[in-house]
Amino acid sequence: MALFSPFLLPKITAPLLALALLAGCQARREAVDLLVTNATVYTVDSTFSKAEAFAVKGGKFVAVGSASDLKARYAAAKEVDAKGQFIYPGFYDAHCHFYHYAMGLAEADLVGTKSWAQVIQKLQENRRKYPKARWLIGRGWDQNDWPTKQFPTKDTLDLLFPDMPVYIARVDGHAGIVNQKLLDLAGITARTPISGGVIGRDAQGRLTGLLVDNAQSLLSNVSPSTTAAEDTPLLLQAQQNCLAVGLTSLAEAGLQRTDIAVLDSLQKQGQLHLRINAMVSASPANVAYYLKKGPVQTDQLTIASFKVYADGALGSRGACLVKPYADKPKETGFLTSTEKQLRALAKQIAASKFQMNTHAIGDSANRIILNIYGEALKGQKDRRWRIEHAQVITPADMPKFGQFGIVPSVQPTHATSDMYWAGERLGAQRVKTAYAYAELLKQYGQLALGSDFPVEDINPLFGFHSAVARQDAKNFPKGGFQMENAISRPDALRGMTTWAAHAGFEEKRKGQIKPGMLADFVVLDTDLLTAPNEKLRGAQVLQTWIGGQQVWEKK
């Protein structure tokens, strides 16, 4: 049953009604496609104003104001009574992996597994469900959640799945366990050299199946490539999941040319409604191709940035730190490219119109990237180069975000997922300089908020809750984690709408409910500005609209 339905006039009578009304009033009313009334509309404009109604024409907002005023001025082909519910600009995830997420819908979901035995059980279930699959892939395990906190080894995988390649990624994607079949396919032996990563070996020097960071790229030549036809149903299923949580725009944090082509064609066929800011994976071939081609900026697709990796993740101790890990005093993590390579790439991109969006987690990686950015962008204003994650920042480096105009692109749920063990990795002092969103906001004046899904849940309201309450789904900890870095609710809403758009040079087109902007909006049953913290994650999206078209409704 629909919770609320559009104006109940059959379409055919609408023009007649408009005529009848016209006869009764002096002024001629302008025809519009849609009038939404009886709502609490958070416009997220520059004054964070509220309104009651708005009008849409040609896929864009044309007026925002009171219902009586708009009804007097406009004759709408369709009217929606929002029944007093709450409307926001469509949510924008500023950093996610939509394509991976979509492909992952056919993979074994290992998030939340409580033991290695449970991982094995889920893999067996997946095998039964997809007997034709050429590979067995799982994702999302986290040994920090298990009774034994050591990395698992491949022995059971070899026993149960001797003949098919098995790959199971850790929750952060920076570490994975593979079976012998896959090691053989990839030609990985105990003697394979590796830099910027780890190939796990036991005390006897035998392979354990663990591959960390660059070691995982040894698999890229053997990984199964799927066709657009195979990918499409999964992408469309993923889109439904996104629309159901109010997402209308996504920044894809690193795609190949072929993947971008699939998304582009689905958008052009009218099947993919989501607007995509596709960051291009910065392989030498991709960089050469897109620098020559130049940026793309349409209402549906933005291609104007390169996604670069500076280091790994904190959970697998791949994040590059200035001082050693508190829980592994001989390790400081590593850069996944050399400083020289990163500097050369920055110089190359700085001479173009593209943004450079670099994954940097550790304080050393962040310092190196900030300095490289500052040097490459010298004299250039408002290039909006981004640091993705900006997770651990030495206080002395903080002001560089403001000084060099670097956009912090952060994922608030990382703070509340990692808080259980981040202190062990970083130590009591240094953890205070991590997930410092309020401080980053102060430095740059804006924050782009994302989820990094499928690393975290796709629901942007989880991020909203984490950002403002600094608590996880269990409302833990009481009082919030490092609350000095919580941000206000209006700022969290800006971060997932207009500031996310700004981070892709799209703020003049979307992210606000304002005349001239693309009519992307969501209807919720909850006032995100006043609801108690513990109600935020459960807020329900009732309708999702993109370009003035309803693309999703809660049944």
Nearer to Zn ion, 253 or 398 (CB): 253
* Cβ 453 to Zn ion shortest distance, Å: 9
Which part of the chain contacts Zn ion (CB under 5 A), choosing from 120-128, 160-168, 246-254, 425-433?
246-254
Opening angle at CA 153, ends 152 and 157, nearest 5: 110
Nearer to Zn ion, 51 or 278 (CB): 278
Nearer to Zn ion, 33 or 452 (CB): 452
Residue 172 interacts with Zn ion (CB under 5 A): yes or no: no
CA dihedral (192, 194, 197, 202) positive or negative: positive
* Cβ 310 to Zn ion shortest distance, Å: 13
Radius of gyration of the chain (CA): 25
List, in sequence order, every beta strand (DSSP E) within 438-547: 448-449, 521-524, 541-546
Nearer to Zn ion, 335 or 546 (CB): 335
Residue 452 interacts with Zn ion (CB under 5 A): yes or no: yes
Which part of the chain contacts Zn ion (CB under 5 A), choosing from 31-39, 213-221, 448-456, 513-521?
448-456
Given a contact cutoff of 8 angstroms between Cβ atoms, the answer to whether 281 and 255 are in contact is yes
Burial code of 387-400, b = ≥16 C-beta within 10 A, e = fewer? bbbbbbbbeebbeb
DSSP-assigned letter for residue 161: -
DSSP-assigned letter for residue 497: T
* Cβ 253 to Zn ion shortest distance, Å: 4
* Cβ 433 to Zn ion shortest distance, Å: 21
Between CA 232 and CA 126 the distance in angstroms is: 21
Which part of the chain contacts Zn ion (CB under 5 A), choosing from 191-199, 313-321, 449-457, 501-509?
449-457
Given a contact cutoff of 8 angstroms between Cβ atoms, the answer to whether 377 and 351 are in contact is no
**Tokens representing residue 484 in the block:** 């000095």
Nearer to Zn ion, 166 or 410 (CB): 410
Count of other CB atoms within 10 angstroms of residue 314: 25
Residue 213 interacts with Zn ion (CB under 5 A): yes or no: no
Between CA 342 and CA 310 the distance in angstroms is: 8
Nearer to Zn ion, 356 or 536 (CB): 356
Nearer to Zn ion, 407 or 536 (CB): 407
* Cβ 156 to Zn ion shortest distance, Å: 29
Q: How far apart are the first and last CA of the chain?
A: 6
SS3 384: coil
Which part of the chain contacts Zn ion (CB under 5 A), choosing from 155-163, 236-244, 251-259, 266-274?
251-259
Beta strand 40-42 pairing with 86-89: parallel
Between CA 53 and CA 488 the distance in angstroms is: 25
The amino acid present at 52, given as its one-letter code, is: E
Say how far residue 48 (Cα) sits from the centre of its chain.
24
Instruction: Name residues contacting Zn ion, limited to 345-404 (CB under 5 A).
Output: none
Between CA 133 and CA 104 the distance in angstroms is: 13
* Cβ 95 to Zn ion shortest distance, Å: 6
Nearer to Zn ion, 253 or 361 (CB): 253
Which part of the chain contacts Zn ion (CB under 5 A), choosing from 75-83, 98-106, 247-255, 348-356?
247-255
Binding flags for Zn ion, 7-46, as an x/- string (CB under 5 A): ----------------------------------------
The amino acid present at 16, given as its one-letter code, is: L
Burial bucket for residue 295 (CB in 10 Å: 0-12, 13-18, 19+): middle
* Cβ 476 to Zn ion shortest distance, Å: 24
Residue 431 interacts with Zn ion (CB under 5 A): yes or no: no
Give the count of residues interacting with Zn ion (CB under 5 A). 2
Residue 253 interacts with Zn ion (CB under 5 A): yes or no: yes
Count of other CB atoms within 10 angstroms of residue 288: 11
Which part of the chain contacts Zn ion (CB under 5 A), choosing from 136-144, 200-208, 245-253, 310-318?
245-253
* Cβ 452 to Zn ion shortest distance, Å: 4
Given a contact cutoff of 8 angstroms between Cβ atoms, the answer to whether 213 and 197 are in contact is yes
* Cβ 55 to Zn ion shortest distance, Å: 38
Which part of the chain contacts Zn ion (CB under 5 A), choosing from 135-143, 248-256, 299-307, 506-514?
248-256
Burial bucket for residue 145 (CB in 10 Å: 0-12, 13-18, 19+): middle
Which part of the chain contacts Zn ion (CB under 5 A), choosing from 47-55, 78-86, 114-122, 252-260?
252-260
Nearer to Zn ion, 43 or 358 (CB): 358
Region for residue 445 given its phi and psi (left: phi exceeds 0; alpha: psi -120 to 50; beta: otherwise): left
* Cβ 504 to Zn ion shortest distance, Å: 15
Nearer to Zn ion, 80 or 94 (CB): 94
* Cβ 114 to Zn ion shortest distance, Å: 25
To the nearest 10°, report the CA torsion of 270, 273, 274, 280: 0
Nearer to Zn ion, 136 or 260 (CB): 260
Note the residues at the interface with Zn ion (CB under 5 A). 253, 452
